[in-house]
Amino acid sequence: MDVVTLSRLQFALTIMFHYIFPPLTIGLSVVIVFLKGMHLRTGESIYDTAARFWTKLFGLNFALGVVTGIVMEFQFGTNWAAYSRFVGDVFGSALAAEGIFAFFLESGFLALLLFGWDRVSNAMHFFAALMVSLGGIFSSVWITVANSWQQTPAGHELREYVINGETYVRAEIVDFWAMVFNPSSINRLTHVWLGAFIVGAAFVMSISAWYLLKGRHEEFARRSFVGALVLATVSSFAQLFSGHVQAHAVAEHQPAKMAAMEGLYETTTAAPLYIVGWPNDATGTTTGIALPGMLSWLLHFDTSAEVQGLDELEPIYGKPPVWLTFQSYHIMVAIGMMFIAATTLSWLLWWRGTLYETRWLLWFWVTSIVLAIIANETGWVTAEVGRQPWIVYPTIVDGVAVGGLRTSDGISESVTASQVLGSIIMFGFIYIMLFVLWISLLHRKIMAGPKIPGEHAKPGGMADAAADIVAHRDGLASPTEDR
Amino acid sequence: MDWNLLWFVLLGVLLTGYAILDGFDLGVGIVHLGGRDDRERRIIMNSIGPLWDGNEVWLVTFGGALFAAFPEAYATAFSGFYVAFMALLAALIMRAVSIEFRSKLASGLWRGWWDTTFCVASLTASLLFGVAVGAAIQGVPLDRRGILRTSILEQLTWYPLLIGLLTVALFAMHGSLYLRLKTGGELRDRITRWAWRWHWAFIALYVVATIATIATVPHADDNFRRFPWAWGVVVLNVLAMLNLSRTMKTGRPMQAFVSSGAVIAALVFLFGMALFPNLITSRPEPSHSLTIYNAASSTGTLKIMSLIALIGMPFVLAYTAVVYWAFRGEVELDEHSY
């Protein structure tokens, strides 16, 4: 394989693994701030118990987010040197702002949050949780702004600069705020935040639902579950709206991406909206179950409106990989719809008082964390694959693409295919190891459960009793087991 | 106002902050295996438990600032030393997760594995930082575009390796001095002995490295002719080193630690002096060098970043101070420790 393909594969691998963690920690940090705030206000010990339990899990997730995040920052330089030269003036300043404003805030107060329980006052500890949460949210601002600028560049000019008498061209900022508030920043940031809240809520509901099914820590689990259900419901419905606004923006600024998302090979009036489908590049058609005219209606509020297809768009924008863009987009949407249905149904049952007896629905919520992470990942796959072949999207002037940077022109000049292959194998090994350890440590912490004063474990069955004994024994052997 | 010069200085400040702060926690990692039993090793590891993450942010911010202020230098260095950077990433990841995972299981085999990983990864990272500094001082063959196209084997000569070893000794000494502030009793006595050993190793390597630099690196002293006041820093460096030895003898651990921090700051300054005005010195063709002028972002961006730094840095210093204050004093193992 060539350097371009390998570098893209490596970037996909490292960013997708990294992106398991930021939404999880951002979402969970919001939950922790809420719990700490409630404890501070009401003084009820259940909130303190819950905050301690979720913070323990938060710490583990955060550590993985940090170590996989350093890779991302280095990788722009190691694998995408030509891109870095082209965008450094714009992208670099957003990244530096992220370091100074967000990472220091996050890491400083994280120390107080994780290790400061007995060292600082309750109010200070709440403040630390708030700052960690803000730090996470700030960092999502800057990195999403930088990425949005690549999708819908604004506030910059292409300018020449000279090295050793040779002239080269790069993007330079002329209007900082226009760059920050480029046409897609706000939409995409909202979408990213809501996605993170859903992941955080799903994480809490997944573990709480499991406790409920097993009859463990029930009071704790019910409170956590309902709290997270509020967050999940609000975020899921808001996400539907945000997604709709987002789709409009994509159709306006990146129509080729929109066409790929819906597998629209030819310009069509009354364009259909697929529920499921299979785009086929060879025949240039998409087959599947579709709602006729709905795409036209969603984009133009008119079921017979014309929507441009790849036949018209490809000569201008180039052609993104259709199948992958289509499927990842549809998986994201399908999961989003499932969340809307499941949250609504959960409230209905809650109101009738049978929520906690509806075991199949609780089992759905146990799996919801996996679904939420998949939806976040596939959303990003849609955004990043759908903008190909561009790493920085061009501006269209009189039907001609100007000013962008093609992905194939962004790679490092001096790096060879064998070097990239070597680093992919290295990251592959390390990440598989990290993933296995992460899952098994999460499992142990979940098995051990929250430390509820005065509660004795009520094992739900033989297997659970055995698991509890194991957890208990390990706890005795190592008092440090839970940090 | 020379914004390019300002950003050269600010990068120096970030690098100094990083070298002093992460320097001691890398050093703690290097000497970690000296802990005799599980409790000692936990004390050693937990001495940096709440701090290592914040310390590493200095590196992340240095990287981001280099990208933003001098994208040409960032792109050339990171892609030109591809294999070294991948090794560094592996080391930083393994180091961080060994802290996170080590004490989670009681098994001796498990803990032994992560103890060793913690040590090897800290050692590797320190060595690589030193090698990078050495290679930068020595100069690398850039082409006309300012791109470095050589293999890892051509890059690894004895001089960068020597600077790498110097860095390992420096960090190990610095880390041991830090541990003296965080421990007590018999463990502390032993750590003091390690500190002495690394202190002598550092002095020996420092003398060798100075001679090697003067003998083999042309123009390393050019800037001292341009800026005679820079000799003052050399004098301060020597004084800090003497004070370090003195306070180790008289048993003032805080002063000794601060002195070794001052030694690190002085060495980063001398590194800057060896480079200026280059960011990546080209050799054998010096005209291909990437300087703080031809490798820089536009002046507009440098100004925006200066504003960001002006607003942000006071906060950064405040958080750092609060956290170090909250976790001052000897390590106490509790249920939140690693």
pLDDT at residue number A476: 40
pLDDT at residue number A132: 92
Q: Give strand ranges (E) for A285-435.
A: 285-291, 306-307, 390-392, 395-397, 400-402, 405-406
> How far does CA A355 lie from the centroid of its chain?
29
pLDDT at residue number A454: 67
Q: Does A121 touch chain B (CB under 8 A)?
A: no
Whole-angstrom Cα Rg for chain B = 20
Supply the mean pLDDT for chain B: 88
pLDDT at residue number A480: 42
Map tokens 């959960």 to a residue.
A346
Which percentage of chain B shows pLDDT scores above 70? 99
List the single best residue of B47, B154, B331, B335 to mutate versus A (max A Cβ within 10 A). Answer: B335
Q: How far apart are CA B81 and CA B150, in angstroms?
A: 9
Report the gap between the CA of A127 and the closest CA in chain B (Å). 13
Residues of chain A in contact with residue B147, where contact means CB-CB under 8 angstroms, are 81, 413-414
> How far does CA B208 lie from the centroid of its chain?
20
Q: Could you report the per-residue pLDDT of B60-69, keeping only the tens digit for each?
A: 889 888 999 9
Q: Does A73 touch chain B (CB under 8 A)?
A: yes
Q: How far apart are CA A322 and CA B327, in angstroms?
A: 54
Spans of chain A, pLDDT less than 50 = 457-483
pTM (2 decimals)?
A: 0.88
Alpha helices in A152-184 (DSSP H): 176-180
pLDDT at residue number A200: 93
Per the CB < 8 Å rule, is A78 touching B297? no
Phi/psi at A239 (5° precision): -65, -35
Q: Give the model's confidence band at B214: pLDDT under 50 very low, under 70 low, under 90 confident, else very high.
A: confident
Q: How far apart are CA A142 and CA B298, in angstroms?
A: 20
Residues of chain A in contact with residue B72, where contact means CB-CB under 8 angstroms, are 85, 88, 163
Per the CB < 8 Å rule, is A164 touching B335? no
Q: What is the largest CA-CA distance in chain A?
A: 77
Per the CB < 8 Å rule, is A66 touching B53? yes
445-474 in chain A: CB under 8 A from chain B: 474
> And the tokens for A324?
């992958």
- Nearest CB partner across the interface for A100, out of B103, B290, B309: B309
ipTM of model over 0.90: no
Q: Does A414 touch chain B (CB under 8 A)?
A: yes
Q: Give the model's confidence band at B264: pLDDT under 50 very low, under 70 low, under 90 confident, else very high.
A: very high
Residues of chain A in contact with residue B327, where contact means CB-CB under 8 angstroms, are 111, 115, 119
Residues of chain A in contact with residue B312, where contact means CB-CB under 8 angstroms, are 97, 100-101, 104
pLDDT at residue number A455: 64
Report the gap between the CA of A372 and the closest CA in chain B (Å). 25
Report the gap between the CA of B316 and the closest CA in chain A (Å). 6
Q: How far apart are CA A275 and CA A333, in angstroms?
A: 9
- Nearest CB partner across the interface for A71, out of B75, B89, B316: B89
Would you give the DSSP letter of residue B148? B
Per the CB < 8 Å rule, is B67 touching A176? no
For residues B257 and B173, the answer to whether their CB atoms sit within 8 Å is no
Q: Report CA-CA distances (Å) from A281 to A355, A446, B80.
A: 46, 46, 39
Map tokens 């992560």 to a residue.
B114
Report the gap between the CA of A185 and the closest CA in chain B (Å). 19
Residues of chain A in contact with residue B97, where contact means CB-CB under 8 angstroms, are 63-64, 67, 434, 437
